[in-house]
Amino acid sequence: MQKVIIPLNAFDRFEVLENGQESFIELIAQSGAFGVEIRRELLPVPESKLGRIRNEIDNHRLFTVYSAPIELWKEDYQLNVSALAEVFQEAMLLGAKWVKVSLGQYQKNASNIRELAAFLNQHKEIQLLVENDQTLHGGNVRLLTSFFENVTEQQVPVKMTFDAGNWYYSGQRVEEALEQLSPYVIYLHLKQVEEGPVTVPLQREGNHSWKQVLRNFPAEMLKALEFPIEPKERTKDYIHLISELAVESEAISCNS
């Protein structure tokens, strides 16, 4: 069975804000998902509904990722300690195992990796993930590679969320990103990006780059479906699509 995560920003924004992220949990669970990705930007007040959301998630025994639109490194290249501390506190209230943020303004000779190590040493129960975002700095292959090489060398427990579509927004080559960053990845965000650029639902037919990304990683890796799911009842169809493609890829690998 594929471990598929459904981020709450995949659904209609107005419906999510009006009814709350907790109102989608049952549908996500019944669709066969492994877990959910709760989005901080879709919480009217970050801590206002975390307990209610957690209860709903616990009832359905889903894995939880907490995504926060903050940058790990501030404009002065220093660690964004206060924002990071807030997000980790919220993640604990939510019962999240993983926290996902963007890289921010990282510079090897100016950013203090030891300070990050000290912070994470106080929060060993949560895995920090850094995602390639759609900005020119946070979605830059060279800067991300420099960061992950640095934290790996210093044995700081940070892993990567590889967003298959964001490279188009930041003007980077997916092939180069895979070559440089694959060793650090434990979580995939799958989306299909077309001219514009614009994010659209995954399509089975066609040689789309997200399929190349999918084939590049182990079948058991967690995958999030981050694209518009309309109507929301189609969630199970997309989970089924990912499962089918994974089986096909495994069959090809066995026969090659």
Q: Where are the domains of the chain?
A: 4-255
Helix-then-strand count for the chain, H and E: 10, 10
Q: Which pLDDT score, from 0 to 100, does residue 89 have?
A: 96
Per the prediction, the chain carries an average pLDDT of 93
Q: Which pLDDT score, from 0 to 100, does residue 160 have?
A: 98
Token pair in block for residue 155: 């044995």
47 pLDDT band, cuts 50/70/90, is: low
Q: Which pLDDT score, from 0 to 100, does residue 206 have?
A: 82
CB contact at 8 A, 218 and 1: no
Backbone angles phi, psi at 130, to 5 degrees: -115, 125
The tens digit of pLDDT for each residue in 212-247 reads 999 999 988 999 999 999 999 999 999 999 988 876
Nearest-10 crossing angle of helices 141-153, 174-181: 10
Q: Model's pTM, two decimal places?
A: 0.95
Q: Which pLDDT score, from 0 to 100, does residue 195 have?
A: 84
Strand, helix or coil for residue 236: helix
Look up the CATH architecture of domain 4-255.
Answer: Alpha-Beta Barrel (3.20)
Report the alpha-carbon angle 188-194-196, nearest 5.
120
Does residue 253 register a pLDDT over 60?
A: no
| Average pLDDT rounded to a whole number, residues 100-126 | 97
